[in-house]
């Protein structure tokens, strides 16, 4: 989903995206690829290249001389820290920007962001993912060719987007997005430069370096965005300008931290192998972007940019679990799974799903339960129409985080086609359901279509694909029970307390009263939930830190 906390920031990649406080669709949400890349990315798996003669890097394989479990835990810590810092800052910035550009401006930006994200995701061609999945030696051998392919695709895409910006904007019923699309063409070009250095850092699970680059992106991009909004009259155009600038800073830091320069090379064997593996990944990543934005592409022409703006605000807030925790999962899931040997009833996936659900589900549920207070505290009464939409979409974001774990597992086991096939079925049903529901019930119908397809279509298909790859559906579903059961009493008590507090209207100020109700509801929820699951969380983390068996090297 187009997520936009980091309004002015973009990071070459997340598959996933997606996004995130203004929660406009954000460049930083280019996290589409659930397999390789920084926690935030303008394109799934973007990185850059080296030369055909493998050159050993100073940093070896993370598994060499260092416990992988500890490396993954450290990576998750740094990724989460970076995301918490950027999300907290974006919450404040998002409120300011939303009030300045209004719902219609957000709707226009959402369309431009979706188009740029889809293009950048597709032309990445899964190259970064292929770079991450092999050994350190294989990565060095592939890097020069992958750099050449990446820059070729991204340059062509950037030119096409710049020249076709007007036609694309008019076709989507948002001519005001033309200038924004032209700016985003620069982001597509910069994305090609990111593929190899970002892939190198991801392969080493060097989330500390990635987190610093992301925070630099966030600070520079958003500072420029706010400066332009306050000092000029360019309006929503300030968002892509800040985003592209922040992304350029981030990519430069990727090279610094990866300790490598821009090097090209060509090897036909590597090219065939990379495209053979990466094409299904690229297709799947584009579909993931569509899955997060089909609703917006349908709502815009049917209901107009103003209602799209209200819908986008709710959709982006519902995407917070994906934005914060999902980015962590995407950053470490595939490298972690790739370092383990496949087993019957693969326990590593069951553990990953359990830990993911223990954290993501209560977050999504609280967003749904306290939608009224969340919207009125974060924004203002102008966005009151977003409240019922968030109540519907809240849990949707939590379920999406599960797909990051499942997708990382399937990629690590070499089953990229299963992800592609699952996403094809998902996006077809989602488009049809959203089109019918939006025309019949408006934005509420579009939100219900999202939840229906993810529960009835997508989740069963992904679980079945995981079982065919070696996991156990029964074990995975059982692992979700502790969090699900613990949320029931927490939800009942917290909702009753929150509504009781809201009825007093202590201050008479809508935003402050909403903040009080949200604080009481959220804290009471956590006060009940955490004691019920803390032992399970600690046990899952301890199991994650345990030493793992290394697989045999993957040959091209």
Secondary structure (DSSP) of 286-323: HHHHHHHHHHHHHHHHHH-HHHHHHHHHHHHHHTHHII
What pLDDT shows up at residue 529? 96
pLDDT in tens, 434-478: 999 999 999 999 999 999 998 999 899 999 988 988 888 999 999
pLDDT winner (highest mean) among 1-5, 91-95, 206-210: 206-210
Distance CA 393, CA 311 (A): 10
pLDDT reported for residue 28? 35
Identify whether 351 is part of a domain: yes
449 vs 547, residue with greater confidence = 449
pLDDT at 19: 31
pLDDT at 334: 62
93 and 204 share one domain: yes
Helix (H) or strand (E) holding 156: helix 136-171
* pLDDT number for residue 339: 63
The answer as to whether 353 is a domain residue is yes
DSSP string, 411-465: HHTT-HHHHHHHHHHHHHHHHHHHHHHHHHHHHHHHHHHHHHHIIIIIHHHHHHH
Query: Residue 491's pLDDT is what?
Result: 96
**How large is the average pLDDT for residues 160-165?**
93
Is residue 407, in this structure, part of any structural domain at all?
yes
**Does 547 have pLDDT greater than 80?**
no
Q: What pLDDT is attached to residue 440? A: 93
Q: How many Cβ atoms sit within 10 Å of the Cβ of residue 262?
A: 13
In Å, the largest CA–CA distance within the chain is: 71
Binned at pLDDT 50, 70 and 90, residue 192 comes out as confident
Task: Please tell me whether residue 196 adopts helix, strand or coil conformation.
Answer: helix
Same domain, 335 and 260: no
Position 53 in a domain? no
pLDDT digits (tens, 9 = 90+) for 104-117: 888 888 888 888 87
Q: Which of 37-51, 305-319, 328-342, 508-522 has the lowest mean pLDDT?
A: 37-51
Residues 501 and 415 in one domain: yes
The model's confidence at residue 481, banded by pLDDT at 50, 70 and 90, is very high
Query: How many structural domains are present in the chain?
Result: 2
Under the banding of pLDDT at 50, 70 and 90, the label for residue 5 is very low
What's the token pair of residue 141?
């051998």
- Helices H / strands E in the chain, number of each: 18, 0
Last residue of a domain, one of 264, 292, 320: 292
Domain of residue 405, residue span = 303-546
pLDDT band at 38 (very low <50, low <70, confident <90, very high): very low
> Would you place residue 180 in the very low, low, confident or very high pLDDT band (cuts 50, 70, 90)?
very high
Q: Which two tokens stand for residue 500?
A: 């009781």
User: Looking at the predicted structure, is the pLDDT value of residue 47 above 60?
Assistant: no
Plot region of 267 (φ>0 → left; ψ -120 to 50 → alpha; else → beta): beta
Is residue 384 domain-resident?
A: yes
pLDDT reported for residue 48: 31
Structure letter (DSSP) for residue 552: P
Give the pLDDT band of residue 483 (cuts 50, 70, 90): very high
Rounded percentage of the chain residues whose pLDDT exceeds 90: 24
- Total count of residues recorded for the chain: 556
CB 189 within 8 A of CB 10: no
In a domain, 403, yes or no: yes
Same domain, 189 and 317: no
Examine the fold and report which residue of 262, 292, 322 is the final residue of a domain before the chain moves on. Answer: 292
**pLDDT value at residue 444:** 93
* Long-range pairs of 52-57 with CB within 8 A, sequence gap ≥ 24: 52/141, 52/144, 52/145, 52/265, 52/266, 52/267, 53/265, 54/137, 54/140, 54/141, 55/140, 56/136, 56/137, 56/140, 57/136, 57/140, 57/200, 57/258, 57/259, 57/260
pLDDT the model gives residue 68: 56
Q: Are residues 247 and 335 in the same domain?
A: no
- Average pLDDT value for residue range 50-75: 45
Instruction: Name the residue among 13, 16, 10, 11 with its Cα closest to residue 323.
Output: 16
Please give the mean pLDDT across all residues of the chain. Answer: 77
Does 541 fall in a domain?
A: yes
pLDDT of res. 546: 57
Percentage helix, strand, coil for the chain under 3-state DSSP, each rounded to 5: 80, 0, 20
The pLDDT score that the predictor gives to residue 36 is 38
Is 467 found in the same domain as 532? yes
The answer on 275 and 312 residing in a single domain is: no
Which residues, including other chains, have CB under 8 Å from residue 96's CB and lie 6 or more apart?
22, 226, 229
If you average pLDDT over residues 378-399, what whole number do you get? 87
Q: Assess contact for 293 and 30: CB atoms under 8 A.
A: no
* Mean per-residue pLDDT, 45-66: 36
Looking at per-residue confidence, does 245 or 29 come out higher? Answer: 245
Which pLDDT value is given to residue 270?
78
**Is residue 60 included in any domain, yes or no?**
no
pLDDT score of 45 more than 80 = no
Q: Does pLDDT of 132 surpass 80?
A: no
Q: Which of 62-71, 432-441, 499-508 has the lowest mean pLDDT?
A: 62-71
- H or E stretch at 255: helix 238-258
- Please check the confidence at residue 358 and state whether its pLDDT lies above 60: yes
Asked if residue 415 and residue 342 are part of one domain, the reply reads: yes
pLDDT at 43 over 70: no
- For residues 347 and 429, membership in a common domain is answered with yes
pLDDT of 490 higher than 80: yes
User: Which of 244, 272, 292 delimits the end of a domain?
Assistant: 292
**In terms of pLDDT, which residue wins out, 440 or 281?**
440
| Residue with more model confidence, 188 or 470 | 188
Same domain flag for 405 and 540: yes
The answer to whether residues 249 and 307 belong to one domain is no
Mark whether 398 and 489 lie in a shared domain: yes
* pLDDT (mean) for 531-540: 86
Q: Which residue has the higher pLDDT, 190 or 343?
A: 190
pLDDT at 108: 86
**What pLDDT, on a 0 to 100 scale, did the predictor assign at position 33?**
36
């Amino acid at each position: 989903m187009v997520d936009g906390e980091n309004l002015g920031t973009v990071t070459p990649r997340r598959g996933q995206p997606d996004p995130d406080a203004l929660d406009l669709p954000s460049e930083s949400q280019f996290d589409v690829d659930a397999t390789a890349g920084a926690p935030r990315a303008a394109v799934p798996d973007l990185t850059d290249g080296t030369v055909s003669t493998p050159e050993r890097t100073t940093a070896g394989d993370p598994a060499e001389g260092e416990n992988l479990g500890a490396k993954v835990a450290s990576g998750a810590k740094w990724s989460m820290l970076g995301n918490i810092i950027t999300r907290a800052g974006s919450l404040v910035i998002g409120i300011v920007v939303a009030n300045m550009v209004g719902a219609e401006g957000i709707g226009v930006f959402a369309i431009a962001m979706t188009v740029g994200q889809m293009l950048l995701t597709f032309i990445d061609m899964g190259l970064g993912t292929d770079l991450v999945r092999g050994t350190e030696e294989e990565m060095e051998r592939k890097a020069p060719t992958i750099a050449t392919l990446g820059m070729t695709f991204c340059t062509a895409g950037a030119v096409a987007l710049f020249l076709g910006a007007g036609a694309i904007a008019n076709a989507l019923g948002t001519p005001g997005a033309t200038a924004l699309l032209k700016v985003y063409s620069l982001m597509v070009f910069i994305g090609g430069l990111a593929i190899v250095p970002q892939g190198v850092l991801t392969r080493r699970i060097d989330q500390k370096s990635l987190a610093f680059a992301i925070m630099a992106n966030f600070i520079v991009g958003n500072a420029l965005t706010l400066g332009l909004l306050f000092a000029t009259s360019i309006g929503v155009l300030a968002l892509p300008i800040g985003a592209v600038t922040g992304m350029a800073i981030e990519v430069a830091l990727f090279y610094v931290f990866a300790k490598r320069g821009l090097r090209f090379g060509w090897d036909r064997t590597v090219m065939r192998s990379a495209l053979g593996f990466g094409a299904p990944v690229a297709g799947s990543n584009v579909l993931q972007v569509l899955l997060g934005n089909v609703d917006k592409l349908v709502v815009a022409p049917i209901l107009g940019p103003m209602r799209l703006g209200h819908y986008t605000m709710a959709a982006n807030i519902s995407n917070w679990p994906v934005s914060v925790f999902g980015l962590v999962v995407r950053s470490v899931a595939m490298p972690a799974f790739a370092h383990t040997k496949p087993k019957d009833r693969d326990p590593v996936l069951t553990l990953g799903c359990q830990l993911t659900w223990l954290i993501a589900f209560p977050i999504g549920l609280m967003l749904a339960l306290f939608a009224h207070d969340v919207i009125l505290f974060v924004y203002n009464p102008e966005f009151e129409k977003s409240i019922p939409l968030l109540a519907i979409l809240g849990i949707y974001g939590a379920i999406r985080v599960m797909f990051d774990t499942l997708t990382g597992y399937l990629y690590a086991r070499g089953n990229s086609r299963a992800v592609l096939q699952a996403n094809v079925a998902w996006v077809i049903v989602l488009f049809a359901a959203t089109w019918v529901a939006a025309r019949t019930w408006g934005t509420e119908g579009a939100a219900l279509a999202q939840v229906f397809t993810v529960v009835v279509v997508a989740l069963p298909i992904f679980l079945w694909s995981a079982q065919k790859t070696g996991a156990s559906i029964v074990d995975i579903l059982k692992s979700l029970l502790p969090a699900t059961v613990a949320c029931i009493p927490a939800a009942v008590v917290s909702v009753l307390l929150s509504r009781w507090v809201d009825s007093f209207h202590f201050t008479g100020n809508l935003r402050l009263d909403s903040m009080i109700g949200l604080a009481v509801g959220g804290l009471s929820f956590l006060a009940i939930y955490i004691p019920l699951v803390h032992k399970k969380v600690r046990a899952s983390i301890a199991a994650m830190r345990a030493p793992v068996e290394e697989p045999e090297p993957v040959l091209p």
